[in-house]
């Protein structure tokens, strides 16, 4: 590679060109120009040329040089905002209570909680025996553990039933590959046991010496095997219990709330299967609960001598069934709650005298409480038009207390205990926002845009009271729209840095999510995926028509599969946005989905389609952001990624930016920021992550001439 093509990104050559922000001209370095190396890809008789395919060589020094050049270019372009970025970071962090702690929950005679010390980047996991006045036991002080690492993430924590041994997992690369360790909670010593290349979770059998865990394929990162480990032995001696050989499935293991059964789950986008075994057995034999079938999804919940089953069997929006623990196949399932076309059954919490159903209607989660004895029922009333509610940690069966969480775009995250008999609720904790925050200064609304095909698409938005609908407000529109994941309205103290500067923040609940039920998801996947993109564009145009903003003040943001959305709208309607922030974007859909060696690809066929089939190949090619880059004007764009990303490989955004630089016909900003030390989730510290947020906000503010 011509070395000049790399070092020109490190601010040696300078150009003057017209800028898109309020500064008329400024001196900027010339952007890096990636070398073109022709690579031919052929499928179904169709040939594609990928000139930047070489960027997927993570260990190639030339690749690292190029990524460093992109970082140097971004730093040079944004250098004049660095003091503002520092102010934004300090402003965001200043709202966070530094010496905070979670609401304790009781398990096996101990109260467990997590707390933070004032300057600590990482959590401290603790417990107290019998009551909260007892002496604190520190299970893990992650601040001490993380001292020698640039990235440090503790995954799952699991304590043996006799309360004596802690199993915990650690990832020090940000690749979501965890090593499981064990700590003697009586002596404080680490055991010699060490289990590597795992998914991070561990499940104790009831004998306090046996642990079940899942491992990952080191290349594809698919979770494919379940092993049994005996404390005191080497990993090489662990017994393989189950291998998931279907490459479109992953697997995991857990124990039922009743503690009676160990459960091995297998999952794909469209199908699930469970195997159960006695958790008291030293050498249990797992039996299939209901064998997998295409398009059959179910979840199981054990109570006393039966299982509750949440399933889509002849029920698009799912229904609730029950069956004897000795007769578990589907012909034995008996209906309790029927399918409803306008209500999605999302979850079930089982208590001795109550059933609590998490249902989604009109895009909002409702908690429905059913008395098991007299079948009376009611819904919790949350009193806001747009909000998010969920059931929290509910470990005991024999209780009348339901713990649930609640937030809205104006209400900080809150934890409640609710007496299901008396219907009295107790606020245990509300997220404390430091400074002069007052929720009454902000207003949230629920609007509906009309999509091109006539579908009503919900939008949740929030702004500071006093907003004038004059079409001149800056607005940031966020969305995800994939995997049936519902992007619910939630509170963010970070977001106040936007709202207090006059921004409207909006979430578009587009198809591909599951906000409006299972139909909503299926209308935004596979051969209907483009509905996701056109919904977002229609929501954007609606907000302009309703005078919330205009094209010169409208920004779009999305991450991962939401980054795919950003790539699609950048190609389809670059004229509609002042700027786009694409976080860890999945943009090279075609090449990735054709390469089964790339992590997580085979499990995605039921979401995007299998491009080995021509119908799906043609459709995916028609929207794949990388393939659809063309010679046209693009809006200002900031693209972020992490070198160790396990979900969306760093080379997708890197290739996309390289191709955009070569093809675009404008002088608008195009910046790529690569965190060379992290992966999909960004920095591991609770404060460090906001440095990336400060960069994103500074990028947006700078385009509007906002400097403080």
List the catalytic residues.
560, 645, 680
Residues found in the chain = 708
Q: Are 443 and 461 in contact (CB under 8 A)?
A: no
Phi/psi for 621 (5° steps) reads: -60, -30
Distance CA 313, CA 291 (A): 13
Which element (helix H / strand E) includes 87?
Answer: helix 82-94
Q: Are 37 and 54 in contact (CB under 8 A)?
A: yes
DSSP string, 272-324: EEEEEEETT-SS---EEEE---TT--EEEEEETTEEEEEE-TT-TT-EEEEEE
Q: Are 583 and 563 in contact (CB under 8 A)?
A: yes
Phi/psi for 187 (5° steps) reads: -105, -20
Q: Cα–Cα distances in Å, from 328 out to 22, 298, 299, 315, 350?
A: 66, 12, 12, 18, 18
Distance CA 547, CA 303 (A): 53
Which element (helix H / strand E) includes 608?
Answer: helix 605-608
Q: Are 9 and 69 in contact (CB under 8 A)?
A: yes
Q: Cα–Cα distances in Å, from 177 out to 194, 282, 676?
A: 14, 28, 17
- Among residues 594, 654, 669, which one has the least CA distance to residue 60? 654
At 565, is the secondary structure helix, strand, or coil? helix
Q: Are 546 and 602 in contact (CB under 8 A)?
A: no
Distance CA 166, CA 171 (A): 17
Sign of CA dihedral 653, 659, 664, 669: positive
At 692, is the secondary structure helix, strand, or coil? helix
Q: Is 468 exposed, middle or buried (0-12, 13-18, 19+ CB in 10 A)?
A: exposed
Q: Are 351 and 394 in contact (CB under 8 A)?
A: yes
Sign of CA dihedral 555, 560, 562, 567: positive
DSSP string, 529-558: THHHHHHHHHHHHHHHHTTS--TTTEEEEE
At 468, is the secondary structure helix, strand, or coil? coil
């Amino acid at each position: 590679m011509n070395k000049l093509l790399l070092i020109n990104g490190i601010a040696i050559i300078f150009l003057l060109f017209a800028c898109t922000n309020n500064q008329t001209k400024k001196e900027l370095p010339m952007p890096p120009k990636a070398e073109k190396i022709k690579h031919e890809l052929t499928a179904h008789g169709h040939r594609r040329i990928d000139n930047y395919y070489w960027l997927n060589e993570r260990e190639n020094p030339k690749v690292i040089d190029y990524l460093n050049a992109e970082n140097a270019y971004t730093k040079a372009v944004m250098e004049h905002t660095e003091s503002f970025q520092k102010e934004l970071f300090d402003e965001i962090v200043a709202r966070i209570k530094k010496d905070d702690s979670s609401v304790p929950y009781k398990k096996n005679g101990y109260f467990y909680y997590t707390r933070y010390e004032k300057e600590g980047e990482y959590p401290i996991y603790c417990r107290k025996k019998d009551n909260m006045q007892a002496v604190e036991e520190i299970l893990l002080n992650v601040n001490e553990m993380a001292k020698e690492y640039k990235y440090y993430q503790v995954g799952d924590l699991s304590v043996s039933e006799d309360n004596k041994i802690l199993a915990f997992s650690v990832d020090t690369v940000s690749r979501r590959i965890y090593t499981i360790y064990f700590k003697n909670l009586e002596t404080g010593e680490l055991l010699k046991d060490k289990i590597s290349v795992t998914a991070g979770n561990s499940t104790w059998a009831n004998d306090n010496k046996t642990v079940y865990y899942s491992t990952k394929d080191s290349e594809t990162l698919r979770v494919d095997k379940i092993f049994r480990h005996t404390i005191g032995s080497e990993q090489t001696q662990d017994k393989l219990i189950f291998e998931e050989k279907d490459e479109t499935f992953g697997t995991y293991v857990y124990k039922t709330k009743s503690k009676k059964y160990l459960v091995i789950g297998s999952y794909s986008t469209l199908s699930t299967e469970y195997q159960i075994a006695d958790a008291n057995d030293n050498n249990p034999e797992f039996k299939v609960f209901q064998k997998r079938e295409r398009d059959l999804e179910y979840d199981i919940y054990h109570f006393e001598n039966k299982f509750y089953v949440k399933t889509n069997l002849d029920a698009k929006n799912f229904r609730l069934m029950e069956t004897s623990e000795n007769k578990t196949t589907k012909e034995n399932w008996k209906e309790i709650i029927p399918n409803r076309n306008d209500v999605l059954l999302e979850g079930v919490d089982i208590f001795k005298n109550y059933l609590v159903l998490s249902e989604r209607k009109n895009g909002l989660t409702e908690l429905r409480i059913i008395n098991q004895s007299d079948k009376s029922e009611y819904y919790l009333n949350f009193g806001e038009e747009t909000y998010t509610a969920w059931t929290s940690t509910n470990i005991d069966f024999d209780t009348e207390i339901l713990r649930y969480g609640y937030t809205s775009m104006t209400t900080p995250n809150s934890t409640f205990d609710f007496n299901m008999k008396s219907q009295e609720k107790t606020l245990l904790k509300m997220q404390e926002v430091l400074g002069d925050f007052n929720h009454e200064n902000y207003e949230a609304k629920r609007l509906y845009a009309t999509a091109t095909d006539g579908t009503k698409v919900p939008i949740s938005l929030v702004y500071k009271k006093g907003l004038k609908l004059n079409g001149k407000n800056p607005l940031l529109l966020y969305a995800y729209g994939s995997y049936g994941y519902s992007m619910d309205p939630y509170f963010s103290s970070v977001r106040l840095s936007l709202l207090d500067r006059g921004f409207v923040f909006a979430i578009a609940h587009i198809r591909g999510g599951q906000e409006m039920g299972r139909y909503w998801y299926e209308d935004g996947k596979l051969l209907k995926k483009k509905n996701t993109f056109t919904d977002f564009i229609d929501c954007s145009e609606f907000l302009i028509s309703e005078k919330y903003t205009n094209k010169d003040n409208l920004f779009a943001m999305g991450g991962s599969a939401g980054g795919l959305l950003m790539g699609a709208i950048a190609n389809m309607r670059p004229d509609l946005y002042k700027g786009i922030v694409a976080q860890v974007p999945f943009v090279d859909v075609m090449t990735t989905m054709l390469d089964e060696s790339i992590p997580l690809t085979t499990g995605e066929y039921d979401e995007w389609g299998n491009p080995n089939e021509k119908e799906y190949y043609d459709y995916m090619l028609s929207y794949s952001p990388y393939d659809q880059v063309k010679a046209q004007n693009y809006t200002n764009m900031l693209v972020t990624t992490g070198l160790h990303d396990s979900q969306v490989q760093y080379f997708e955004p890197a290739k996309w930016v390289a191709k955009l630089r070569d093809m675009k016909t404008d002088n608008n900003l195009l910046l790529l920021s690569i965190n060379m030390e992290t992966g999909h989730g960004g920095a591991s510290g609770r404060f460090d992550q906001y440095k990336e947020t400060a960069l994103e906000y500074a990028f947006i503010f700078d385009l509007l001439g906002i400097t403080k």
